[in-house]
Structure formats: C-alpha cells, structure tokens
Structure 1
C-alpha cells in the first residue's frame, strides 16, 4: 500500500516480488496525469517480475459527512466494474473514520439493490480480483509523472539523502570485509541506526521537498546523524584493513586507497597530506607518486583545501588502477623544484583546445562555454554546451500544475572582470572570468565565472590528458525567486533517445521536453550511429530531453509548502517569505562519450564507483599484522555487487548482485577470503536487470540463494 507517493519506479516491481508481495495499491498519478489501460493491471518490472497493481482513482480521502455520497458517486461512475475498491476517511491523507460517516455507510449497506458494499481490506480486494480470473492489461513502465517539481525541490535534502544512501552501502561493504577477516566486530547497530535515518528521511513530504523550514532542518540533521555514525564506522574499518601494510620508507609518504568494489577500478585519486615541516627553504615541493611495485604514475599538484601562506599542506592528483575489494598502496615523495610548475595551456583565436588523443574539448574564452566536444573526431556536444539556463517557475514546490519547465527567463552570462574580482575575493584588480587554474600531466582545469541578476555560477571543467571522461564541477550561489536553473547539453543526436537509471533498471525517458526523473546517470543515445554520451550526476534527479538536447535540472526557488488553490494567491503578498534552496550549492557531473553499446554496458558500474567512492587517506601504517588481499571478486565487466553485509539473523555473509544491462550475463563470484582446500567460486547467470541475493557461510563457503528478505529461495544453491 503506497497511497500518496508522487510516482512509482518500475524497478519497484522486482523489489516487491522478491520480498514476497504479489499486489500493489496506489493513488498518484491519477487518470488526468497518467493514462493507463485500466485501473487494475499487471505491472511488469525491468526483469520481467510481475505484481498486480490497482490505482485508487477516486483518491484516498473523503470530506466529513460525505463518504456515502462518494461511494454512491463511485458506483454510478463505474458501472462496468464487477468488483472495485474505494478508499474513504477524513483528514490529511484520509483514513480517519467519523461516526457520522460510519452510520451513513451502514444505512447504505442495508438498502436493497444490486450493489453490495463491504468494509474490507486491500488483501481481500486483490484476492477477489484474482479469484474472478480477470484478464488484466499489462503495464511495463514507471508510473509517472505527478508533481515533477519534487524531482528538484529542496536540493540540500536530496543531496544529503544521496550521500547517506551511498555511505550506508559503502560502510557495509568495508565493515563486512573487516569483520569476515577477523579484524573488527561487525558494527550492526551503527549501520542500522544510519539506515533507519535514511528510511525515515525518504518519507513524504521530506525527500520530495514539499515540507516547511523546520522539517528541512530536521531532515538535514537526521541525515547528518547517519553520516556521522557511518564516518566513524568507515574510519575504523579502513584502519583495521590497513593494519597489515608495511611501514613507510625514508622520506616516503604512504597513500592508501581502499576499493570497496569486487572489480578493478580506474580511479582519478585526489588526496591531501601534510609534510613533516613547512617549506621554509624556498622553491616548490613537487609530489611524485609510485604504485606498490615502484612504477611511476602520472601525477600533478593542485590547490589544497586550506589557504595557508606557508607551503605546509599538499594535494596530489594521480590516475590509478585499483585492485578489487582490497587496500591499494601508493607512495609519494616530495621533490624541491624551482619555479613552481604553472599552466602550459594558452588560448588560440579566443578558444582553449584541450583533451587527449581521443577527446577534444573547445572552450570559448568569451562565453566560458564549450564550443565543441569531439570523441575520435565525431561531434558529441555542440555550441554553448553547459550554458546555465534560467526558466520561469512559480512558488509551488510540488509543481502540481505543470509537466515541464521550458519557458525562458534568461541565462547566466560570463561575469565582467570587475564583478569576477569582487565575487572571487581578488584584491589585485579586475580578474579574467575564464582562466586555466590547474594544468599538469593528468588534467587541465578551467574555471569560468558567470552572473545572472543576484546569482553567481562557477564552472570548473576538468579535462583529462588521457581517456575520454570530462568532469564538470558547478558551484552556484542562488538567490532567485520563482525561477528554475538548468544546464544545457546540446548534442547532434537529434533523432536520439534519452535513457536513465531507475531503481534496479534502465528506462527510456520519452516525454518530449517534459520533466523526467532518474537516479545516478543519464545517456543520450543515437542507436543508428552507435554513439552515446553518458552523464553521471552526483546529486540531482530531474532533467528533460527534446530534439537531441539534454537539460539537467539543478535548482528551483519556490516557497515552502505553497499549495495552489484555484482563485487564491499562491503565496501571501503582505510580507517577506523565505524561499527554498537560496545560497551555495555544488554539483558534479562526469561525461563520457563512446560507442553506444560499450557506454551502456559500462556506465552503471562507473556511476556506482563515483557514488560509493574508494576511500583514500595518507596514513603511516604500523607494519603489524598480515597484509590482506582481495576480499571478493567478480569476473565479468558489468555485473555489480550492490550490497555486502552481515545477515539480519545469524552470522552469515549476505551478498547481493545485480545485472544492470538488458542482456543475459554470466559471472563468477570468487570468495578468496575463505581459506578452504579448493578456492570458493560460484558461476552465476542473470536475466536482464535481475537481482540475485546469496547467503554465505564465512567459514565453509557454503552458499544458498535467498530473496531480498534473506529467506531461502526453494532449494537453490549458487
């Protein structure tokens, strides 16, 4: 029963089915928002799972004293239904029976006639529906949209939610590895508390963003509570897993990175550390990095978080290949050089030409936007890519009366040199608004500063010297009212389609220019030309797509809990009212072009690693204990491990795997931490988008398949 959620992901079907549910009752979206072949239907999941779903089209409540009228009207308006379901009750979200309504309904039930009225339950309704053997239509898509403004409203709450969601799974994975290898007790209470905070914060109107300021403050506090508990859990697990690392050599600074994923991960490491003493001797201390076998890696220094006048804190960026589900060791040394290395990139004809052999990016020095992005000579992005668009909006945080945000109100333009100097806190006079701020063997970072009315936006384009993934960090100081902010990504794929990640699945976001919702990634795909651009996003859910152009929804600025009613002003006009999401926000995006088939096979894992990031720390290990190798591993390139944890009952290890593609997949699950005479390895096959869960005895390696509630599935063994 999920009566007032503002939409329902198709991925829910498999989750429900594998948790023992066979039916689903909902209200929104209603008939005016979503046309269905019938209010009762078989809902089909991405993997082919099924539940019987019913929409309570007359909604969930009734006005006091009018329940009888609602029942009579329903029967009159649905004469073709042999059995139907009607919800009634007073109060916000309904369900409150009044004595008057009960008495009137009893009178109605006692009246003679062809219609039989029963006080009943959802279970009885679905059993009756099934017993009649009705041939129900089939629906194989998400049940959206309703209130598309909620895909973006209260961005801070959504950001904290995404962080905590990622940290729950990441902390479980690291803790399971430390626990199974005898390094730490399993921190079940800490993880449970954090998971409960996450679940509570997902209730409406908290996560949708349609609440009042005290609820927003409480939600942020709740998510921060979970994040703080998990930060301690992860720190303890990391230090335990690092205990077997050898001590540092002379003048060596260890950089330890724990990869919590059972596959090799290419990772751009950003790590800070503190030299023993400040640099009093002049010159510049250049960090160089080698891997665990002593091989030099491409690396470069970048601006550290602090702003000490002395050189006493360092930040190094380097590319690394991380071993699966293991601690990875890198060693850094400082070399004194003079002068300090500076950017070696200069604009040509008003444009910066950046990139690697396979990726070319052109940044316009006058507009601060991308003029073009090519992959192996093929156009991927067109002029004015990453333009910040300002759209007309209103004060309703739900967005109850709209389906799209497309009416222009303007756009951010490159800030004047004088305004940029003021915004950046530069005291030496006017400053260039487009500038190279970092450059080295790993990447070039270009900063562009924009302004619109009372708001400011700073793009940082991080363009690699090797590979095809560009990162864009967008910092917004937002002070608009009744406006929406989107980023524009125009592609040449005018006949292309837009795909997005949903819960344990992928769905085409087909509504032309209307607001859509997705999880951690989007893709614009031209199947005819077999080319795609994937976008991994760290904290946003809303977007729209039309004519080959993808627009990413960043921020709105509605009032708090302003509910539109016909004939009444949306917000009071006699005072100042606070607006949502004013102030500073930081967004990150990772864009990768390539062949469509290859990108769609890779992007789900890439998004997983971007969100559940490897844990990097400069730490000097004591050199005590035994060095630990890979904990778990998967042999294929797509299947992912979405959860690893101690069982809810008993001391078994629970491993949840997922095939994020539309093809049948096979992988081998290796359990090298289990020390038996023969290696413990299980070959597993997956249907498209299938979730499979296994329960493993950490001592013997005995493995049995379970449902999502960790109950055995038949006699299945891996």
Structure 2
C-alpha cells in the first residue's frame, strides 16, 4: 500500500463528517413539539410543567434574551423499531459554539423528575434499549435562551449582558426534535477512527506506529460501503481491532482523567442562571455515572452543591447518592473557586471554613486537595491557609496562560511567605476543559516537564466554563486510551487518588517560593471598582460585626447572631468568585453585586450598632442603667498590637484622629504642617513636598510632584476587562489643569476636569499623625482609559512590600529579567511599603488593589533614584460590560512618610476601619489585647459550633520572630487550645494560661494561629 498520509487523513476527515457520523442515527421520526415562554425570571418546575403551550415547528425563532421556554415533546416509538436502541435527539437550535455559551435545557418527566441536560454536544436522551415498540415519550424541557455574549467576533461591546438593555429579539431557531434509532456499532466506529486519527497525527512521521495506524485506517475506510454504512460498520471496526489492541509501552506517561465541568459561578451569565447550569450538568453526570462503571466525576464549589440542594432537590438526591458511592466527588474544599489575590486574610480563610464544613456536614467528605483550575494567579500567603485548613495539595491550570515566561514545572512544592509548603500540580494538558482527544493526550505527555523523575499528570475532562461536563464520547475515548501503543495511558480517578500517587512517586519535587503570578489578566485588579469597594467594605464590616457581637455576648449576654453572620459571610465569599470580584462578568452580574453589597452593608451595620449600643448602655456596676445620650462612647476596631481589639473610651466628643492641622497659604498653593510633617501643595494641586521633620527627610523626588493623576489609553489586544498590556505605558497624560483650588475646612480641595469626567480631591494632615490623607471622588465617563494616582518618591529601594493574606510579599523594583518585567501590574491589599535602611514610606488605601512600582535614576548632579508608586484607580473596558465603571467613585489613600512596616499595617487598618460613636456612658474595656505591635488580630468571634467558646485568630505581621502575650478581659480563661481554621483542636496544643496573666505565644515570621478559649 502506498497511500500518502495526507491523503488518508483528508479522506478520514471527510468520510467521518459526511457519511459515518450521520449514520449513527439511521432512522428518525419527528416528535410533536409545543412551547410556552416567559421573558421574566425562571418559574418553579411545577408551574413550567403545567403552563399552557402552543404548537411550534422546526425553523421557528424562539427565546428572548435571558428568557425561559418550556417545550413539551411527545411521540411514539414505531413498532418496527422493536429490538433496537432508541433515543430522542433534541436540538433546541444549537449553534456551532461550545456548550455553556448558548441555549441549554433540562429534560423532565411529567412528574417533575429530571432526566438529563441538553447542550450542543449532548442532545440525545435514551428512550429504550432495546425498545419493544409502541413506547410513549412524554417529556418537558426547561430551555434557557441565554444569549451568546461573546459572539462570532470576540470582545465586541454588547448590550446583551444586561436584561434591561438586551431587547426581546429571538435568539435561536428551533432545530429538529426526533426519535431515532441509535446504531451503537457505527457510534463505536466513529470513536475508533477519531482516536486513531488523532493519535496518528501526533506520532512521528518516521515512526512505524504512525504508518501501522495509517494503513489500518485506510483498510477500514475501504471496508465501509458509503451507501450502506450501517451494514458495513462492523467490518470496518474489525480492520482496526489489532491496532487498538496494541498495549502502551511500560514507560508511557500516565494520565489520571477526572470527569469535570468547571462552571463559572457567574461570568457571561448571572448568578441565577448558574443555579440552572449546575443542575443540568449534575443531571448529566449522574446519568453518565449510571452508564459507565469506570467513570468518576468531580465538582468543586460548595456553593454550587448548596444551590442544587435548595433549588433542585431531586437532582441533589441523585448527587448525594453518587457521592456516597464514591463516584461523584466533591473537590477543593472551598465555598467557591475564588480569586486568591484580592480576598483579605479572613475572607480567604473563610472560603475554606465554609467550603470544607459544607462537604463534611453534607457528605462526610473532607478534601485534602485545593481545586482552582481557572483562578488568575495565587497570592504568596495561600499555602499557609491551605495547610491551616487541613489540606495539603493544590491543582491549577491557569498559569499555563502566562504570556511572557513559561513556568518551569508541572509538579512541584509551593512555599508561602511563612514557610508552609503545598504539593502542587499544573496539568500539562493545558486545559481544564479536556475533551479527551488524542491530540490533547499526546500534548500532555510531550509537554510534561518532570519526565524522568515523575510519570503522572491529571486531565480535568469535560465541557466547562458554562457547564456541560463529560460526555459519553469522552468516556469512550478514554477507554480506548487506557492502554494504547503510542499514547499515554488514561485512567479515571478522583483527585485525591491522583495526588496520593503523584506525591508518593515524586516525594522531593523542586520548590517554588513566593506568589504564583499569572502573566495575564492583570487588569482584573482594577476593573469594576465598585465591586472591589463592596468587597473590601464587606470584609471589614464582617470583622467588626463578629468582634462587637462577641464582646456584647461575653460582657452583656447578648445573643450572638450565628445564622446572620454565616449567611452574610457566604454571600461575600460567593462574590469573591474569580469572575465577579475581578470585574470580568457581564453588566447584570455587577449591577446585582452592587445591590447585594448595599444590603450586606445595611445588615452588618445593624449588627454592629446593636452590639455597640448594648455595650455602651450596659448595666453599670451598681446595677443602674446608663442614661442614653449623656455621653459618647468611641469604638475603635483597630486589630493591631497594644491598641487592642476592641478598644473604647467613654464620653469622648471627638477623637484626636479626627482633628486635622490648619492650612496656610504659600504663593499659589498651600502648606499643611502639624509639627511632624510639612506638606506643600502647589498651584496645580500637586504635592511638591512631603517633609518628615524629625528625620529631616523629603519624601517627594526633586523636581517631581505627588498626588499626580495620570491617564493612559487602554485597549488590550484581547480580554478587555481582564487585560492591560505593557504598551499602555507608552502614552500618558498628566492631569495638571485645575478648575478649582481652595481651602475646605482643614483640607485643601482640588477640582479637575478631563475628557467627560471630573475629579475632586481633599488633602488633609491629621493633627498628630505622620500621614497625608487623600480623599478622591471621580465622576468617571471615559472609555478605554486607565487612571492612575502617582507618587514619585526620593527612595532607592531594590524591593518593596505589598500586603497579602496574613503578611506581605516582596517584589523587586527593577526589571533585570523577564520575570520581573512581567509584573508590571501587581496586587496589594491595604498598603505598599518601600524603604532604605533607616527610613521608609507607605501608600495605604481603602479599596484599590492594582498598582505598579517603577524606578529611574535622575540626571544631572543629583543622580539619585526616584521610585514611583502608582495606585490604579479606574479603567473603562467595553467588554463584557460596555458601561464598566461609568459613574461616581470614591477612594481614600494616605501617604505615610517615615513609615516602617508596622506603621503601614496600622495605617492600612485605620483607612479601612472607621471609629464609631455611640451614645452612652459606659467605658468599654478591651476584650482581647496582644502586647506586641507586630501581632495582628484578624478575627475575634464565638465558635461556630455554638459552644460559646471564644475564637481568636492572629498573625505575625512584620516578617520577624516574636514573643507575645494574648490577654482576654471578660471571663476566666484557664487555658487556650491551638486549632485549625475549622476550630478543631490540633494534637497536644493546650497553651496554659500563666496564672491568668495571659497566653504566651512564640510566632515565626508571618505565622498565623487560631486559638480557642473555652469560657468557664
């Protein structure tokens, strides 16, 4: 045989497409179809089943954007099909786009029990095998007409992302709905040919195995009668049997296939649609588990299980049974697959607390693996949190998306800022939506970087993002590649089984220290500023609510709001999902998030107020009641060192922190001077001097100006809401023109106009603090622009610190290598800090995350170094939300000259935790104090098990070792127990109270501990 390989490959592709695949269903009869539609919110299943319908035929448009239509299909299996396998093929009008990004459906029986989900790669529903003839088919389909937001041309602005602007034009045209004979032999022939064809294309041209497969495929195609495929399919399969039976070589790479459907909890669809996506996918997967005994499916995100439990209890019952059988595996142990860069310390910890507790309570399952395939980079504090939650493994795939540097490992140990280490795997298949194609499997084996020392990798297999999951075709392909010469081997396994084997095989992998920075999607640190502000505010309100509710419970016996706090934490954690908090979802998601954050704020403010009122007006020592309004109690929630948590004083009319130094006129500008700092603001409203009087040190670089707003064009090459490309820095405009400059009370007020936007700033200097407060209000109406707030500083620093979970991470200020260059936009929480020996400076904020730090050497006689810190304020991408960030925004920053790290930590909390004033006369003594400024208390709460025990979480914040004493004022504490994040005691960890003097602690750099203190 002398067939040219390209001719055989071309022949295979056409014959499959035009002859063999169509023969899978050789006989069909139409079903009768009726429809009822609603453009509003989805109705309960019972209502959809009983709704009045009208006839509809194939070719008819249906489905307004975000609407729901209920189809009723009915028919009878022909008598002559007796003995055959029969299924319904139900085409809602699917386009060529992938599942999850278009119309979808869930099939129900007339009694409301779910059958399975429908999407463009999974539209067949089994009727009978074998049929007896005459079977009646009566089904209902809840069909969602979700618009294709991304469309044929990606990243184009669209109004379809908000129901209020999407219009009512039908989105889909109904396809055919038929009963069909299913020819399993032809179906198997298709899969034989696909697997061999895909493998053949990946094998070396000079290798014998490629030519062996090519000749077998050629013989099989000769054996097919193109006019009667069904009668000759088995003969064609016989020609392929020998090459399919050849086993893999012993050294073949081993792939653990994990059934998977990465479902974004919101993205190009709203949260309410994800509830249905999860139900459809779970229905499909439980049905597939019934069909194949080897298949294993995993699903992460406890929130998604909770949605099924609440909204689709029939589906949940099937899921729960499959979990009990060990086939449907809850994975990851987090409430959602969250962003990990921006969530604060406690929020990141609570992702694991709530996620793991749900899986333990519902299924008796505790995860040791963390499952974050699509998260946009990983903060350096995460390993400690993973370990403290009782987990030890991490899986992600997203780092393979990095555009500048190729990560050097697929299996490695990741070390965090405190020294905690986690065994980590990046699947070399480079996809969290593996379709089990021969090309993908070959790529995984070829791409695997640990060849020679390890042999295993994982492949998350199934349609994801918008859901759908694994298909029967993927399962069948995996079976063919279980042991196939020329291919990696494939075996279905749960994530924990893979990790246990991989770790045993490779006990001493290389170590990567510090953050896992994704060299892509950097703009997610800035997009949708109001969503980010809502998150930051909610995190701190939750901290305050737990703190003051605990203090009130201990001191006054007030009830502790367990249920409310649990619900509110879960709401905030849900919105930290990696397409909500990062600002990369449609308009509907973010407008809903703004409303949700407003509701959360109201509820938490009420909890805080109630607790503080109980404390301020608590019964006095002599038994009398305090007189409301006779004084004022100031509540300070600062969780930092000797300041204590909480602190309060009685009958204070104003706090020193609220007082500001006066402003004096100087030339065309103003001077603020409080004896600690002298700040000069010129006639442009720019900060030309910030002088540390005690240190005799100028903070602003010579000839430069701080508080400088800079505007850049911002049109990335793709992924508008996600990306900012380095070339944005090539062009920029300094906003120096002013429309107003004047004194406003004790502040300097600056107003500017640019484009269609307006900004007002208030600069003030507190009377007794070394910081300059900068309050900025922007009425933003730009598009495709990037707004920065710049401070060129007279500091030579090779590195700078950015706050992250339970500490800070250092990044270089230089760009010696491509790894440093790629971090041109990075994340911080409440502060960035840089210093020279003996003097430093911090920039703190109340709601921003993105920033950049650059350095330059000044020309001329000075030749000093200018290090410029810029906070990212606003962007204006047009996809997926064309109105991103239009409107009014408020930011608070503070520049802190002379700051050490401890000052940066303290001022960062101050910017985010306002003092509160409550009428009353009772001084409120501090409940919890720590005698070392380096130790930060991140949570004071009552135990989740409702025992009444006090739980305190704290950490070392400076990056050094410390000895500290924790003291509790409010009850006799004769012992404290070290626990994990779920408040479970760790072995042999009682910490004795030294004669009630306090709990002595020795902490290593950035160590976080959780203490449980029983109440006598």
TM-score by length of 1: 0.77
Question: Is the contact made by 1:263 and 1:325 (CA closer than 8 Å) also made in structure 2?
Answer: no
Question: Is the contact made by 1:379 and 1:492 (CA closer than 8 Å) also made in structure 2?
Answer: yes
Question: Residues 427-465 of structure 1: CA distance to partner in whole angstroms, max 9, x if unpaired?
Answer: xxxxxx111111xxxxx3101111111111111111234
Say if 2:394 is the partner of 1:24. yes
Say if 2:818 is the partner of 1:522. no
Q: How does 1:122-133 map to 2 (within 5 A)?
A: 122-133=495-506
Partner of 1:427: none
Question: Residues 539-569 of structure 1: CA distance to partner in whole angstroms, max 9, x if unpaired?
Answer: 000000111111110000001327xxxxxxx
- Largest Rg, 1 or 2: 2
Aligned-pair CA distance for 1:345: 4.4
Say if 2:895 is the partner of 1:591. yes
Structure 1's 401 and 62: CA in aligned 2 closer, same or farther, altered over 3 A? farther
Structure 2: runs of 5+ lacking an equivalent? 1-370, 655-659, 813-819, 856-866, 975-994
Deviates more, 1:368-377 or 1:205-214: 368-377
Say if 2:912 is the partner of 1:611. yes
Question: Is the contact made by 1:59 and 1:87 (CA closer than 8 Å) also made in structure 2?
Answer: no
Partner of 1:72: 442
Say if 2:196 is the partner of 1:196. no
TM-score by length of 2: 0.55
Say if 2:653 is the partner of 1:348. no
Q: How does 1:26-425 map to 2 (within 5 A)?
A: 26-30=396-400, 32-33=402-403, 34-62=405-433, 67-78=437-448, 80=452, 81-92=454-465, 96-112=469-485, 115-145=488-518, 146-244=520-618, 254-261=631-638, 325-332=646-653, 345-365=663-683, 367-376=684-693, 377-382=696-701, 383-394=704-715, 396-400=719-723, 402-403=725-726, 405-416=728-739
SS in 1 for 2:481: helix
Say if 2:853 is the partner of 1:535. no
What is the rounded CA distance, in whole Å, between the counterparts of 2:535 and 2:473 in structure 1?
A: 43
Question: Is the contact made by 2:644 and 2:928 (CA closer than 8 Å) also made in structure 1?
Answer: no
Aligned-pair CA distance for 1:95: 7.1
Structure 1's 668 and 346: CA in aligned 2 closer, same or farther, altered over 3 A? closer
Say if 2:939 is the partner of 1:643. yes
Question: Residues 581-623 of structure 1: CA distance to partner in whole angstroms, max 9, x if unpaired?
Answer: 011111001221116xxx1133223322432333223x2x3x6
Question: Is the contact made by 1:445 and 1:461 (CA closer than 8 Å) also made in structure 2?
Answer: yes
How many residues were matched structurally?
Answer: 587
What is the rounded CA distance, in whole Å, between the counterparts of 2:925 and 2:627 in structure 1?
A: 25
Question: Is the contact made by 1:389 and 1:408 (CA closer than 8 Å) also made in structure 2?
Answer: no
What is the rounded CA distance, in whole Å, between the counterparts of 2:625 and 2:391 in structure 1?
A: 54
Structure 1: runs of 5+ lacking an equivalent? 266-321, 334-341, 417-432, 439-443, 563-577, 700-718
Question: Residues 118-138 of structure 1: CA distance to partner in whole angstroms, max 9, x if unpaired?
Answer: 112221222112212443111
Aligned-pair CA distance for 1:166: 0.7
Question: Residues 335-363 of structure 1: CA distance to partner in whole angstroms, max 9, x if unpaired?
Answer: xxxxxxx9974423323222122311111
What is the rounded CA distance, in whole Å, between the counterparts of 2:959 and 2:571 in structure 1?
A: 33
Question: Residues 462-520 of structure 1: CA distance to partner in whole angstroms, max 9, x if unpaired?
Answer: 12343311100011111111000001100112444321001112112334570011111
What is the rounded CA distance, in whole Å, between the counterparts of 1:560 and 1:386 in structure 2?
A: 30
Question: Is the contact made by 2:377 and 2:399 (CA closer than 8 Å) also made in structure 1?
Answer: yes
Give 1 or 2: higher strand fraction: 1
What is the rounded CA distance, in whole Å, between the counterparts of 2:950 and 2:625 in structure 1?
A: 34
Aligned-pair CA distance for 1:82: 1.8
Aligned-pair CA distance for 1:524: 2.3
Aligned-pair CA distance for 1:40: 1.0
Select the residue among 868, 877, 883 that pairs with 1:549.
868
What is the rounded CA distance, in whole Å, between the counterparts of 1:15 and 1:404 in structure 2?
A: 36
Q: How does 1:439-588 map to 2 (within 5 A)?
A: 444-510=746-812, 511-512=820-821, 514-527=824-837, 530-547=838-855, 548-561=867-880, 578-588=882-892
Question: Is the contact made by 1:263 and 1:635 (CA closer than 8 Å) also made in structure 2?
Answer: no
Aligned-pair CA distance for 1:96: 1.6
Structure 1's 254 and 628: CA in aligned 2 closer, same or farther, altered over 3 A? closer
SS in 2 for 1:684: strand
Give 1 or 2: higher helix fraction: 2
What is the rounded CA distance, in whole Å, between the counterparts of 1:400 and 1:93 in structure 2?
A: 21
What is the rounded CA distance, in whole Å, between the counterparts of 1:23 and 1:636 in structure 2?
A: 33
What is the rounded CA distance, in whole Å, between the counterparts of 1:251 and 1:45 in structure 2?
A: 50
SS in 2 for 1:557: coil
Structure 1's 410 and 537: CA in aligned 2 closer, same or farther, altered over 3 A? same
Q: CA RMSD in A?
A: 2.8
